[in-house]
Structure 1
Amino acid sequence: MNCPNCGEETTQKFRPFCSKRCADIDLAKWLNGSYAVPSQREEDLEAEVEAEDPMPKRPH
């Protein structure tokens, strides 16, 4: 298995990373928002649909 950050061979102690440095780099990416998990919240889905719809719906 290779380290996802640098590609070096991993070590058991820091798996899936090769060193504490690479593990810390990955953690920093999560903490500063470089990585993000897509939200499945209903409000986010509604906002996405509204952003795609060029004509707002009007009541009758």
Structure 2
Amino acid sequence: MRVDVSPSIVRFRGRVLSVTIKRPAETIPAGLVAALLAREDAEAVSARVAEHCGVPSAPTLR
């Protein structure tokens, strides 16, 4: 998997939003690293939704 490509896919169909995270389960480590990956995925989705809707992005989760 290329690191420079986001694994999140966000699709907009009218008022319907669908999100797919393409990350093989065997590549997800356990513990805090998994939580950080989930946070990065959520931030990527949030940024994509904000871009699509023309609104400012949500602040970074910390």
TM-score with structure 1 setting the length: 0.29
Give the TM-score taking structure 2 as reference length: 0.29
Work out which structure has the larger RCO, using CA pairs closer than 8 Å and 6 or more positions apart in sequence.
2
More strand by share: 2
Larger radius of gyration: 1
